[in-house]
């Protein structure tokens, strides 16, 4: 296999990039190679994300890609945020999810549901130096997201929140949280309200940081609310409409996870293809054996299909089209591809792939989360079935 055949195309023809998009992608890719890759192994081993990289994310505009320029953001499009997540995740999925949650969940929710005063208060911070987190899950409400027990009670000019949130990405680093609580448990999902909670609010604290299988440098934390006082003006959208904010924001976030899994699969494939051309057995590189060629070809084909799904869903979102089915299909398929590709890539490395001297084992560990967070694969299948079968 020649060096030329070990390179994936930069974009499939049906979703080709414009000149500006290609330049943006290339710049993010170079940054990821130069600044993130040298720190990946150490961050993974320590389970801590390098703060200097976060500062660079902000200085490069990667944390507020869609935020309008009047608030200090880049004024870009959702598709560009997806490109950034893909390219960063190609090097490190932990870095990718930090950029992803900031852009596709938190910033999207703030831009869509805040009033003018809230936009002026929060969007400049998101563009300048503040990481955001999205706090929905609890111990008893995972896939059944609206079985939450975190309670909000209006007392005078404040809401008082009590409860615990679990598995919150960016929990350690975040300064702003989009947090969901119920005003009336008897009302079911109609009692749920979204709040903008600042880390400094009285009664709010960050608890245990999880020790995870993969994306170890990305913090996943418990949030503790003990008579947490939240001003009335920190309600996001309308009271009782938190379920709508949660569902619609997660629909967009699934495309972001698709981009993360796409980038991860690309990174795993590229490392395996390079190694296959370097590794000699029986007097020639293992890439000269048809068995290895076929595996690499199959992986490359699946990655290209995943790329088309991610890019198509992102284009649909930017065009104002209904993309719910496509987002669910994208997350489902890309997480499957990332798991298969990272597994096969590790096998191409053979014994050394099972060690931490090569990146294969980390791609393999990182891939598993794609089928779990922001809606499990079974939940994506349920959504798809409802939309295609009318069930």
Q: Which of 87, 173, 252, 374 is catalytic?
A: 374
Q: Can you give 324-375 as a three-state secondary structure string?
A: HHHHHHHHHHHHHHHHHHHHHHHHHHHHHHHCCCCCHHHHHHHHHHHHCCCC
Token duo for residue 187: 């009302």
In the chain, what is the straight-line distance between the N-terminal and C-terminal CA atoms, in Å?
48
- What Cα–Cα distance (Å) separates residue 168 from each residue in 64, 173, 230, 243? 20, 11, 19, 18
Distance CA 358, CA 254 (A): 29
Alpha carbon 121 to its chain's center: 25
Q: Can you give the chain as a three-state secondary structure string?
A: CCCHHHCCCCCCHHHCCCHHHHHHHHHHHHHHHHHHHHHHHHHHHHCCCCHHHHHHHHHCCCCCCCCCHHHCCCCCCHHHHHHHHHHHHHHCHHHHHHHHHHHHHHHHHHHHHCCHHHHHHHHHHHHHCCCEEEECCECCECCCHHHCCCEEEEECCEEEEEEEEEEEECCCCCCEEEEEEECCHHHHHHHEEEEEEECCCCCEEEEEECCCCCCCCCCEEEEEEEEEEEEHHHEECCCCCHHHHHHHHHHHHHHHHHHHHHHHHHHHHHHHHHHHHHCEECCEEHHHCHHHHHHHHHHHHHHHHHHHHHHHHHHHHHCCCCCHHHHHHHHHHHHHHHHHHHHHHHHHHHHHHHCCCCCHHHHHHHHHHHHCCCCCHHHHHHHHHHHHHCC
**Is 69 a known active-site residue?**
no
Of 232, 241, 184, 179, give the one whose Cα is nearest residue 204.
179
Q: Which residues are catalytic?
A: 374
């Amino acid at each position: 296999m020649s060096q030329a055949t070990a390179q994936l195309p930069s974009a499939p023809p049906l979703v080709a990039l414009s000149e500006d998009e290609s330049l943006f992608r290339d710049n993010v890719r170079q940054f990821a190679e130069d600044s993130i890759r040298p720190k990946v192994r150490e961050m993974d081993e320590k389970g801590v994300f390098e703060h200097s990289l976060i500062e660079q994310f902000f200085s490069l505009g990667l944390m507020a890609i869609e935020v309008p320029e009047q608030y200090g953001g880049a004024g870009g499009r959702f598709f560009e945020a997806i490109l950034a997540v893909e390219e960063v995740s190609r090097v490190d999925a932990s870095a990718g999810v930090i950029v992803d949650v900031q852009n596709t969940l938190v910033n999207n929710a703030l831009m869509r549901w805040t009033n003018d005063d809230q936009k002026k208060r929060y969007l400049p911070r998101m563009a300048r130096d503040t990481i955001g987190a999205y706090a929905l899950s609890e111990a008893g409400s995972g896939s059944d997201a609206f079985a939450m027990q975190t309670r909000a009670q209006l007392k005078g000019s404040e809401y008082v929140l009590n409860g615990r949130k679990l598995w919150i990405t960016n929990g350690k680093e975040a300064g702003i949280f989009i947090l969901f609580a119920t005003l009336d448990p008897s009302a079911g999902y109609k009692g749920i309200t979204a709040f903008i909670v600042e880390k400094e609010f009285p009664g709010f604290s960050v608890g245990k940081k999880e020790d995870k299988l993969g994306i170890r440098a990305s913090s996943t934390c418990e949030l503790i609310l003990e008579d947490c006082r939240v001003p009335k003006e920190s309600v996001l959208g309308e009271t009782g409409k938190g379920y709508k904010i949660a569902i619609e924001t997660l629909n967009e976030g699934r495309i972001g996870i698709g981009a993360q899994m796409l980038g991860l699969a690309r990174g795993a494939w590229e490392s395996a293809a390079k190694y296959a051309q370097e590794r000699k057995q029986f007097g020639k590189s293992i890439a000269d054996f048809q068995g290895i060629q076929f595996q690499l070809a199959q992986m490359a084909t699946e990655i290209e299909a995943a790329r088309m799904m991610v890019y198509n869903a992102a284009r649909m979102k930017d065009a104002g089209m209904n993309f719910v089915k496509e987002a669910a299909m994208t997350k489902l398929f890309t997480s499957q591809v990332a798991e298969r590709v990272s597994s096969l890539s590790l096998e191409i490395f053979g014994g050394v792939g099972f060690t931490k001297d090569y990146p294969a084992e980390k791609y393999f560990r990182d891939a598993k989360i794609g089928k779990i967070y922001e809606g499990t694969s079974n939940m994506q299948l349920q959504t798809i079935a409802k939309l295609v079968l009318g069930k």
